[in-house]
Structure 1
Amino acid sequence: MAAAGVSAASLGLAAGPAAAEPAESEGSKVSEGQTVFPGDPRYQTLGQGFNQRFSSTPAYIRLAGNEADAVTGLKTALDQGRRPTIRGGGHCYEGFVDNDKGVILDLSTMRGVRTATDKYGASTYCVEGGATNWDVYTTLFRKYGVTIPAGSCYSVGAGGHICGGGYGLLSRRHGLTVDHLAQVDVVTVRGGRVEVTRAHRDDPKDSPEQDLFWAHTGGGGGNFGVVLRYHFRHDIPEPPPRVWLSNVAWAWGDLIKEPEDFHRLVKNFGAFFAAHSGKDETVYRGLFSILKLTHRSNGNVVLLSQWDEDDPAPLDHFLAAMEAGMKTKATVQTFSAGGLFLPFPDKRRQMPWFQATMTLNGSGDNQRGKYKSAYHRTTFTTRQIDSFWEWLTKPDPEGEFGQTLVQIDSYGCRINARNPTEAAIPQRDSILKLQYQTYWTDPAKDSLHLDYLRGLYQDVYKATHGIPEIDTDTDGAYVNYPDTDLGTVGQKNPVYPRLYYKHNYTRLQKTKKTWDDKNVFHHAQSITLPS
């Protein structure tokens, strides 16, 4: 790992020659950024991300205004001997942007979404690294009538979301976000030169540039450089005109009386998607569903679904399949249970797609949080469901776990149509994606929540030594839901490289060596240089 005091002089840095510019010709502009120092009323806010567990005291925060400013800002930080970290939307689940005495390069004012051309002259949709999901959806839809299959939380930054792979409610039909990526424009530090590199999907095979492009299709943020822009192919999907939304729930009070109903519900959900998540699935590609196994103190277990065709019969069949064999009957869910919810008095409602996207577009409150994740390739075992039940029904006398849940997202279909090495994100035969979450506000309760979530997670995966081991019934964890319990740089045998990247890690390390051989860009779970 590079020392915090690495300097431009020690790297032999010099400004690189200008590369071929895209249509917007960002590189020709003068610097338009701002520097935020301690004492500025913006400093505390810009030094802290969405997760209130983490904050830092950087020497300053540089709000990059354009390409020229991002290059200058990075070079200046290195000239000063200060470590740079990169912030887009600020939603990193761990403290990877924290940077005491260093420099946070904040891209949040670079949020343009427009048509452009890539380095080969082809038309693209260009998304700047500081754009949020909401910037992307509103502009692509209103101006061009298209979209990308990315996440639902409106304030998540595209800069980090996309390079981690990116998925959302349209992914079962259209694949991952990066499956539509054509080019990435990155400020790199290669061979001692700070310059903009435009890496394309169609660059020569095995070239350093193609490796750099590939690394941004699931290699995670903060590893290779400062992402200025993503270029998406001009054939990205049109959204459906309308979708059906459904939000139903089962009261914990009823489930406690009928424990078998909880087991049956989880089994039904897993079995349905085991049967309808293959790469050649046709009927249910347009269904995305989330089962929220909340802690009993929340009140309800919730099932939220989006169906993107006009005929609601398949959605109704799915909802009936979820209740098959249960005595407990579903009700309408009209209050939040761990994030997304629909405040409607009916079990399903058809809406224009854009209105539905606005309805589901929630990021939640700024609180303290901890997260874990897992890919599942098969339905749940009885032992795993027993673990969910045991931990989610534990007493909560202090009322701390009302915002604790296991969120189970449907996955697969077109996501699974790709080869595991085609993009850096390798999990291409899973049917479910799990996110373990807990939220709180009092720092004195940190240990209570961290210990609880660790215990739940380790118990669910007890058969594979407390982690969702790869190439078994499970298949690792999601790099965009980072979890430092999986190990950090410098620890002996951390498991995060294997769980996030599987067999793609060696190529990512090779790419790191080529494009960042001084390890300028690093954090607690970054890709390490090969030994």
Structure 2
Amino acid sequence: MRREFSRRGFLGSAGMAAAGVSVGSLGAAAVPAAAAAAGSDADAAAVAEGQSVLPTDPRYQTLGQGFNQRWSSKPEYIRLVGNEADAVAELKTALARRLRPTVRAGGHCYEGFVDNNGGVILDLSTLRGVYAATDKFGKPTYCVEGGATNWDIYTTLFRKYDVTLPAGSCYSVGAGGHICGGGYGLLSRRHGLTVDHLVQVDVVTVRDGKVELTRANRLDTKGSPEEDLFWAHTGGGGGNFGVVLRYHFAHDIPKPPPRVWLSSVAWPWEGLLQNPEDFRTLLKNFGAFFAKHSGKDETVYRGLFSILKLTHKSNGNVVLLSQWDEDDPAPLDAFVSFVESGMTTKATVQTHTAGGLFLPYPDKRRQMPWFQATMTLNPSGDNQRGKYKSAYHREPFTSAQTDAFWAWLTRDAGGIDLKQTLVQIDSYGCRINARGSTETAVPQRDSIMKLQYQTYWTDPAGDDAHLAYLRGIYQAVYKSTGGIPEIGPTSTTDGAYVNYPDIDLGQAGQTKPAYQRLYYKENYARLQRTKKTWDDKNVFHHAQSVTLPS
């Protein structure tokens, strides 16, 4: 999970996050209290500091490529942004020279949205400050700069303030893209999405041709352009409205649990192939459990986050990984017992890496401090080539969906290595579902599971085969709804996740591409209106960006 709960993080990922478009402001050093309280106006007036990496620079090739090795680009130059003044100046320069700007935080975008041949990449990787501050109304906040990684966030917030954010487990994912796509992680069933705690974004926009800094706050006048701009960054995705310098979070963000239990159990594919009904029972039980225990008012299992990793048979084992944030492990044990009830194939310790994680616990569960557990659950993995798809599920899997999983995960590999190919099923819901579908820009607020389809490889010659395989299983699982997880009041699915972008869902400029409704649902019209107000020249765009209204 990446940048959230993908192989790249319960995340992040990772990360991703999606387009990774944001700009940091101050840097990793501690920020003086006076500057923080002033919202860094002093920095805005400072001399621009940064570096331009030209094609002749030995760093150029490395900085022109992100985490996913499928994507690399040849911009006119790469700017290592040094401070807020530098971000503003470089954006003005790019516009004056008619160079398309793209911005990279952690570089974990699943698609090539930061790719930029002939333009300028604004690289935020040196701008990773995390500190106590105040918002524009003088209210205390925790500020995260756009270039910070999840690990910067966790280490600083925990060590200095004993608080955390319910963000992704892939800690190399950049906050810049991860947060504005919504962000979720192992603590989200108890504490909601990352953006549920967001109170302000400091954004450089290009409004009516003018490059300026706007501090958009959730308390801005209802119906104002600033309120729309803030709301758009609570799930509208990266690369759409401007360059995010800072994210401010409420001062009452959660305290992490002192300790958690990590559980890892696996079922050998050898046994599942001999007893196919066990596979169906496993999926049925997992879905039934979270259908019962994912409501917004759930109390017993709010502290449970679990991931079922359905690997290809060539991997060797199907794995169930869980985190339980209370001291008494009895509810965790009851959950694991429920999931494997009725199966002939007996659970074992994990024998093979699944989706970047390998926890071969002989006792099948282990208690450890939360901070150490967070380090343990980092699934970033190696820099490879990758392809991803996603889906929200509001109900347990249908028989047809389970049959499709089985058919594709047990089929012969056809000459390609599918050991790193899997469908990752994350638990969802609880406090995530306490928000309304239009309260933030994340509209999926009644799902019980979130799926990420993943495949990884290293040889470019394997591109076509891996892409075809992932498209095949995805289309088969959602065959009854046209090959995609369609939305609707009676649908069992609820679209796809913007931080796990998938170019197969259409591109900007096409007639009614699927990504607009699957990522955003009814919120897309408001995002378009916000785009018109804050970026009417479409300066910030990529293959799946929010388009201007027609």
The residue aligned with 1:444 is: 461
The percentage of counterpart residues that share the same residue type is: 78
Find the partner of 1:485 among 465, 489, 504.
Answer: 504
Structure 1 residues 391-446: Cα deviation after superposition (integer angstroms, max 9, x where no partner)? 00011253510100000000000000001000001000000000000001111111
2:522 is the alignment partner of 1:503: yes
For 2:103, the aligned partner's letter is I
2:538 is the alignment partner of 1:519: yes
CA contact (8 A) 2:64 2:75 kept: yes
The residue aligned with 2:10 is: none
How many angstroms does 1:26 deviate by? 2.6
SS in 2 for 1:281: coil
How many angstroms does 1:24 deviate by? 7.4
Find the partner of 1:107 among 124, 133, 141.
Answer: 124
How many angstroms does 1:335 deviate by? 3.8
2:424 is the alignment partner of 1:422: no
Q: Distance in 2 between matches of 1:293 and 1:201?
A: 40
CA contact (8 A) 1:373 1:436 kept: yes
The residue aligned with 2:419 is: 402
Structure 1 residues 190-238: Cα deviation after superposition (integer angstroms, max 9, x where no partner)? 0111011100000000100010000000000000011110000000000
Q: Distance in 2 between matches of 1:341 and 1:412?
A: 26
The residue aligned with 1:276 is: 293
The residue aligned with 2:18 is: none
Q: Distance in 2 between matches of 1:334 and 1:351?
A: 21
Q: Distance in 2 between matches of 1:408 and 1:507?
A: 30
For 2:297, the aligned partner's letter is D
After the TM superposition, which residues 201-280 of structure 1 pair with which residues of structure 2 at under 5 Å, given as runs? 201-280=218-297
2:358 is the alignment partner of 1:337: no
CA contact (8 A) 2:203 2:215 kept: yes
Q: Distance in 2 between matches of 1:295 and 1:329?
A: 19
Structure 1 residues 92-151: Cα deviation after superposition (integer angstroms, max 9, x where no partner)? 000000000000011111100001110000110000000000000000000000000000
The residue aligned with 1:161 is: 178
Q: Distance in 1 between matches of 2:343 and 2:457?
A: 33
CA contact (8 A) 2:315 2:352 kept: no
How many angstroms does 1:289 deviate by? 0.1
Runs of 4+ in structure 1 off by over 3 angstroms are: none
2:144 is the alignment partner of 1:132: no
For 1:522, the aligned partner's letter is H
SS in 1 for 2:319: strand
How many angstroms does 1:29 deviate by? 2.4
For 1:333, the aligned partner's letter is Q
SS in 2 for 1:317: helix
For 2:327, the aligned partner's letter is D
SS in 2 for 1:331: coil
Q: Distance in 1 between matches of 2:139 and 2:357?
A: 37
2:206 is the alignment partner of 1:185: no
How many angstroms does 1:491 deviate by? 2.0
How many angstroms does 1:32 deviate by? 1.5
For 1:473, the aligned partner's letter is T
Q: Distance in 2 between matches of 1:329 and 1:26?
A: 60
CA contact (8 A) 1:85 1:222 kept: yes
CA contact (8 A) 1:334 1:345 kept: no
Q: Distance in 1 between matches of 2:379 and 2:268?
A: 23
Q: Distance in 1 between matches of 2:329 and 2:56?
A: 56
TM-score (norm 1): 0.95
How many angstroms does 1:181 deviate by? 0.3
Structure 1 residues 263-314: Cα deviation after superposition (integer angstroms, max 9, x where no partner)? 0001100000000000000000000000000000000000000000000000
Structure 1 residues 480-510: Cα deviation after superposition (integer angstroms, max 9, x where no partner)? 0000000001223210000000000000000
CA contact (8 A) 2:393 2:448 kept: yes
Q: Distance in 1 between matches of 2:389 and 2:146?
A: 25
Structure 1 gap ranges (5+): 1-19
Moved more, 361-370 or 286-295: 361-370
Q: Distance in 2 between matches of 1:282 and 1:211?
A: 33
Q: Distance in 1 between matches of 2:233 and 2:88?
A: 19
Q: Distance in 1 between matches of 2:108 and 2:344?
A: 40
CA contact (8 A) 1:297 1:399 kept: no
CA contact (8 A) 1:167 1:176 kept: yes
After the TM superposition, which residues 276-315 of structure 1 pair with which residues of structure 2 at under 5 Å, given as runs? 276-315=293-332
CA contact (8 A) 1:89 1:130 kept: yes
Structure 1 residues 57-81: Cα deviation after superposition (integer angstroms, max 9, x where no partner)? 0000011111111001111111111
The residue aligned with 2:410 is: 393
Q: Distance in 2 between matches of 1:351 and 1:399?
A: 38
2:113 is the alignment partner of 1:66: no
Q: Distance in 1 between matches of 2:113 and 2:53?
A: 20
After the TM superposition, which residues 72-111 of structure 1 pair with which residues of structure 2 at under 5 Å, given as runs? 72-111=89-128
Q: Distance in 1 between matches of 2:46 and 2:287?
A: 53
The residue aligned with 1:28 is: 45
SS in 2 for 1:301: strand
How many angstroms does 1:327 deviate by? 0.5
For 2:284, the aligned partner's letter is K
CA contact (8 A) 2:217 2:227 kept: yes
How many angstroms does 1:384 deviate by? 0.2
Q: Distance in 2 between matches of 1:324 and 1:292?
A: 18
What is the root-mean-square deviation of aligned Cα atoms in Å?
Answer: 1.0
Structure 2 gap ranges (5+): 1-36
SS in 2 for 1:74: helix
Q: Distance in 2 between matches of 1:359 and 1:25?
A: 39
The residue aligned with 2:56 is: 39
SS in 2 for 1:289: strand
Structure 1 residues 437-457: Cα deviation after superposition (integer angstroms, max 9, x where no partner)? 000111111110001100100
How many angstroms does 1:346 deviate by? 2.3
CA contact (8 A) 2:105 2:147 kept: yes
The residue aligned with 2:487 is: 470
